Amino acid sequence: MRRAFLGIDCGTQSTKVVLVDAKSLQPKVIGQAPHQLIERDDGTREQEPTEWIGALIAAARAIPRDVEVAGIGVSGQQHGLVCLDADGDPVRPAKLWNDTTTAAECVALTERLGGPGRVLALTGNTFLPGYTAPKVEWLRTHEPERYARTKRMCLPHDYLNLWLTGEYVTEPGDASGTAYFDVRSREYSGAVLGAIDDVRDWHATLPPVGRSLSVIGGLREKAAEALGLRAGIPVSAGGGDNMCAAIGIGLTAEGAVGVSLGTSGTAFAYRAAPALDPKGEASAFCDSTAGWLPLVATLNCGGVVNWVLALFGVGTGDLRTALRSSPPGANGLAFLPYLDGERTPNLPNGTGSFAGVRSSHRRDDFIRAAVEGVTFGLHYAFGALRRAGVHDEAICLVGGGSQSDEWAQLVADVIGLPVRRGIAEAAGTGAALQARWVIDGEEPIVTTDGGWQPRPDPALEEARERVARLRDLAIGGAL
């Protein structure tokens, strides 16, 4: 039988399972099942945790019977708050990373702890609406009965690991995205947790923090039966999706920056020591090996592009045509893509805006302006990474948008760095490779393909400046 490692990637839109061959390290997506998203105009973005289990079971049906699964790793969407009662059942839907209802709680917690500087000193991160800490504060304030019923609070990947193994544990990479975790000491911050609730037994509520490169347990009988696998398969600690994606594209040493063009946009890089942005725009995360992973995120990326494509009744196959038809700068059309608010910069109530619209503009101009707008957002976010001490040499591009050669070239042109393309399913692959690393004791060597060199274009520079002016207006409250 072929020996392989199973990576589970629980994302916003679906759960995927990836098999990575133990020798060749070649990944293959073998199953996928969708999730339903609960969304409201107030910024609510939630999902039922039990749907993740159902999606995993459905996706795992495609696992070939001639494969020996030697280990399992789980990658999960970061920051989501999963609340469990005394029986281990979800108390309510999980509030997700892109939920923006907690802006007031961010302000309240920051004031309670003495201001942004004090918060940065405590954990290395400020409070952003996407993080877990303000979600806990929101639950305590808005749903006190559910808060009282909650006996355990964990992250999506922790919840899946609990179902797989029966072990309630987390690891530093995903835990560092909660904003109640000190990234330097790799421990929960008692000061932040006390500011949220100084009576709750946080030791019993939160999962213990174990090592990232470790086996947390074996696949329990009930989960094995549901997945069609043998009981006892070792399950590694796993991590957040960005942390696992870093492993999947080989960012386990300093040099390249990973950029993901998914529903959201992210950029991240390995550091051997804690990397803190003095302004707090770059997240000071740990990675899911034994290092650190400074990261910037923009809420608006591939989701915005898909929204514009849907407005015109076209699909992703028309993206190439639009980017070739409309010239750099979209014939003077500019788009600020804050359809769901924004995280970098921190504008949870921000809105989108087209500017410079003329009757001469056509469909392809609007599509190009959308792609340029989200890419300029990543350019802004790179400034925060560099403040955190990241010395970028090249970009490794992943995510659904990375499959577009035209968009890959635009990233090279806008950021001004060479671009290489990594594997499309980096998070699930990284989770599987982490399991292999722990079980077989071999750090993976990952290669990339493709290659685009930056081609500076004055029209793109002018377009970036137009969007920057729109962003400045939004930051100033005029948009």
With contact defined as beta carbons under 8 Å apart, do 154 and 162 qualify?
yes
What pLDDT, on the 0 to 100 scale, is given for residue 410? 98
Average pLDDT of the residues of the chain: 95
Could you give the residue numbers annotated as active site?
241
pLDDT, tens digit (0-9, with 9 covering 90-100), for 253-304: 888 999 999 888 999 999 999 999 999 899 999 999 999 999 999 999 999 9
181 occurs within a structural domain: yes
439 occurs within a structural domain: no
Buried b (16+ CB within 10 A) or exposed e, 223-235: bbeebebeeebbb
Task: Give residue 62's Cα distance to chain centre.
Answer: 26
Which residue type sits at 458? P
Domain final residue pick, 209, 225, 249:
249
pLDDT band at residue 424 under the 50/70/90 scheme: confident
Cα–Cα distance, 271 to 254 (Å, whole number)? 6
Q: Is 88 left (phi over 0), alpha (psi -120 to 50) or beta?
A: left
In a shared domain, residues 239 and 304: no
70 occurs within a structural domain: yes
In a shared domain, residues 237 and 317: no
At 211 the three-state DSSP class reads coil
Cα–Cα distance, 417 to 420 (Å, whole number)? 10
In a shared domain, residues 341 and 245: no
In a shared domain, residues 56 and 201: yes
Angle at 267 (CA atoms; ends 136, 422), nearest 5 degrees: 125
Cα–Cα distance, 192 to 194 (Å, whole number)? 5
pLDDT greater than 90 at residue 48 = yes
In a shared domain, residues 63 and 125: yes
389 occurs within a structural domain: yes
In a shared domain, residues 245 and 302: no
321 occurs within a structural domain: yes
In a shared domain, residues 240 and 347: no
Task: Give residue 168's Cα distance to chain centre.
Answer: 22
> Could you tell me the CATH number of the domain that includes residue 236?
3.30.420.40
In a shared domain, residues 245 and 312: no
Angle at 112 (CA atoms; ends 184, 156), nearest 5 degrees: 55
β-pairing verdict for 187-188 and 181-182: antiparallel
At 15 the three-state DSSP class reads strand
In a shared domain, residues 140 and 236: yes
Q: Tell me how many domains the chain contains.
A: 2
pLDDT, tens digit (0-9, with 9 covering 90-100), for 329-375: 999 999 999 998 998 998 988 999 999 999 999 999 999 999 999 99
- φ, ψ of residue 301 to 5 degrees: the values are -145, -110
Is the bond into 345 cis (omega within 30 degrees of 0)?
yes
Domain final residue pick, 249, 267, 287:
249
Encoded tokens for 96: 């997700």
In a shared domain, residues 239 and 374: no
pLDDT, tens digit (0-9, with 9 covering 90-100), for 89-128: 999 999 999 999 999 999 999 999 999 999 999 999 999 9
Encoded tokens for 135: 């979600």
264 occurs within a structural domain: no
Show the domain range for 150: 2-249
Give the predicted TM-score (pTM) of the model. 0.90
With contact defined as beta carbons under 8 Å apart, do 250 and 262 qualify?
no
In a shared domain, residues 241 and 181: yes
In a shared domain, residues 19 and 163: yes
416 occurs within a structural domain: yes
366 occurs within a structural domain: yes
pLDDT greater than 80 at residue 448 = no
Domain final residue pick, 234, 249, 264:
249
